């Protein structure tokens, strides 16, 4: 996008929100970079440089605009031409891995190749991307919360307040205290942050999907808001997410005792609600299929719901094998009540955090949950694998490698592995072809397609097959009440 100057000029003149987050305008005469939606008057064309990311702009020596606030721009995780390796690397960076060598090893590429891909797609190195995320997140906390500046420094990941002050002064040309709004609300029990997305966004679609699968005691959906308990490194808390009253954004209220965990919590909320998607790009591609075109038009902005935790989602998928959604959520709630950690202050239907793998690795779940021995063994095997490998649900080296890793576990077939990859690993091309709901949605007067025929038809939907699956599920009237799995439980 940033290489097409004419398109960038048009988007800038129109302040077109569809391009927000897809490029940034750098102004040589002022040394400032802006979003394409900036309310300031456009500078002279000869003074403008268009770059693909905030990191590229800051690495080139430009500072963020205080009017359009680049820290609040949508963080698009999928855009034209970007590599899957970069998308997975961005997920790892958001979750705290910033060393380029470590990133390369976890992604299965050498470091020079990773550096090349980042320069090609983002115009900046992995380290510059990580540093930019930190400073922009700090700016959002300074501007939008009443946290003390020392707490902001800790929450954003700075080593100390001195480093925070130095880097913010260098970037913004003023001390952090001068960036704070004078009318900011007093600090409350929760940190509230505005998380932007690229419209359109089908909130009803994603909240309906999550509501149907909410684990009792762990998740709750009330009055169009999503709430859940969370745990990280032994600490527990809660999050609540609702649509913003104005503008394309969600409001996340985070109650957690460890401020340094805020970036990871925000990254996981973005993952649950698929805030990094580029809906226009995805819809344009899927609409080339005559069957999907009508569905996309009916449900614009439909997202792929993610998961807070890969292990929790994997357990939920195993519990759902061959039973109804309601039955599976009831079993998951019972599991959480028996083995999960109680919340210190239960509220709004949230009573426990979901158990860690270590909590159920040796449990007789078939007996305690009243299920077939084979499914209990599958849950135990998943728990043991997750306890032994804390990176089991990392983005890793790609969809094929992830599927192979998962189906090697007892009781995990192709459907379950693809479902986990879709929702927990955020693989946009994951596709559970052996799915009765998908087959039903693609039925013709001659009958339903086979899994093989559906997979062949879905080849044209790549690399967005997961989004095609959500469109098909949304069109199937039986989807909310019945799990869509036909694989046998090993």
Neighbouring C-beta atoms of residue 180, cutoff 10 Å:
16
Cβ-count burial of 57 within 10 angstroms (0-12 exposed, 13-18 middle, 19+ buried)? buried
CA 31 to chain centre: 32
Q: Cα(450)–Cα(465) distance, rounded to whole angstroms? A: 17
Encoded tokens for 244: 């913003």
Q: What is the DSSP letter of 200?
A: -
Annotated active-site residue in 121, 144, 429, 435: 435
Encoded tokens for 412: 């995990």
* DSSP structure string for 210-233: HHHTPPTBTEEEETTEEEEEEEET
Q: Cα(85)–Cα(436) distance, rounded to whole angstroms? A: 31
Encoded tokens for 98: 């910033």
400 is catalytic: no
Q: Cα(57)–Cα(265) distance, rounded to whole angstroms? A: 26
Cβ-count burial of 317 within 10 angstroms (0-12 exposed, 13-18 middle, 19+ buried)? buried
Contact criterion met (CB below 8 Å) for 23 and 51: yes
Neighbouring C-beta atoms of residue 338, cutoff 10 Å:
15
Q: Where are the beta strands (DSSP E) in 302-419?
A: 341-347, 350-353
Strand 63-64 to strand 32-34: parallel, antiparallel, or no bridges (unpaired)? parallel
Encoded tokens for 389: 């490998």
Give the residues across from 27 on adjacent strands. Answer: 32, 48
Q: Which of 434, 473, 127, 453 is nearest to 325 (CA)?
A: 473
CA 163 to chain centre: 29
Q: What is the DSSP letter of 124?
A: S
6 is catalytic: no
Consecutive H or E run containing 135:
helix 126-144
Helices and strands, number each (H, E), in the chain? 22, 11
Annotated active-site residue in 8, 20, 26, 34: 34
Contact criterion met (CB below 8 Å) for 240 and 253: yes
Active site (catalytic) residues = 34, 435
């Amino acid at each position: 996008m940033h290489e097409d100057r004419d398109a960038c000029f048009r988007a800038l003149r129109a302040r077109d929100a569809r391009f927000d987050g897809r490029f940034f305008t750098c102004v040589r005469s002022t040394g400032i970079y802006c979003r394409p939606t900036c309310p300031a008057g456009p500078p002279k064309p000869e003074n403008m440089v268009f770059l693909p990311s905030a990191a590229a702009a800051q690495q080139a020596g430009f500072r963020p605009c205080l009017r359009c606030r680049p820290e609040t721009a949508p963080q698009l995780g999928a855009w034209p031409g970007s590599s899957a390796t970069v998308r997975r690397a961005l997920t790892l960076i958001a979750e705290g891995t910033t060393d380029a060598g470590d990133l390369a090893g976890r992604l299965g590429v050498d470091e020079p190749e990773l550096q090349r891909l980042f320069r090609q797609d983002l115009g900046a190195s992995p380290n510059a991307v990580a540093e930019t995320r930190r400073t922009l997140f700090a700016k959002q906390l300074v501007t939008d919360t009443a946290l003390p500046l020392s707490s902001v420094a800790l929450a954003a990941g700075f080593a100390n307040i001195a480093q925070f002050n130095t880097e913010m002064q260098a970037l913004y040309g003023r001390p952090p205290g001068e960036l704070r709004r004078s009318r900011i609300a007093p600090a409350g029990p929760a940190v509230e942050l505005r998380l932007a997305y690229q419209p359109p966004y089908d909130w009803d679609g994603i909240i309906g999907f999550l509501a149907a699968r909410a684990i009792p005691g762990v998740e709750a959906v009330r009055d169009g808001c999503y709430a859940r308990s969370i745990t990280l490194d032994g600490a527990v808390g809660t999050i609540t997410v609702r649509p913003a009253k104005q503008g394309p954004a969600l409001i996340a209220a985070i109650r957690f005792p460890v401020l340094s965990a805020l970036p990871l919590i925000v990254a996981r909320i973005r993952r649950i609600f698929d805030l990094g998607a580029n809906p226009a790009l995805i819809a344009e591609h899927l609409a080339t299929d005559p069957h999907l075109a009508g569905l996309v038009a009916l449900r614009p902005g439909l997202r792929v719901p993610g998961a807070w935790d890969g292990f929790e989602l994997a357990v939920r998928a195993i519990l759902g094998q061959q039973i109804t959604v309601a039955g599976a959520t009831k079993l998951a709630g019972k599991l959480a009540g028996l083995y999960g950690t109680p919340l210190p202050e239960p509220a709004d239907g949230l009573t426990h955090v979901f158990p860690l793998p270590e909590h159920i690795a040796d449990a007789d779940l078939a007996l305690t949950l009243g299920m077939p021995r084979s499914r209990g063994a599958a849950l135990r095997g998943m728990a043991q694998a997750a306890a032994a490998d804390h990176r089991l649900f990392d983005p890793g080296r790609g969809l094929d490698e992830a599927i192979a890793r998962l189906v090697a576990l007892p009781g995990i077939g192709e459907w379950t592995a693809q479902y986990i990859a879709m929702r927990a690993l955020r693989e946009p091309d994951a596709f559970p072809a052996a799915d009765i709901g998908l087959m039903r949605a693609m039925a013709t007067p001659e009958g339903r397609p086979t899994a093989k025929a559906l997979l062949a038809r879905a080849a044209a939907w790549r690399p967005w097959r997961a989004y095609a699956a959500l469109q098909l599920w949304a069109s199937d009237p039986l989807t909310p009440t019945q799990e869509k799995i036909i694989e046998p439980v090993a």
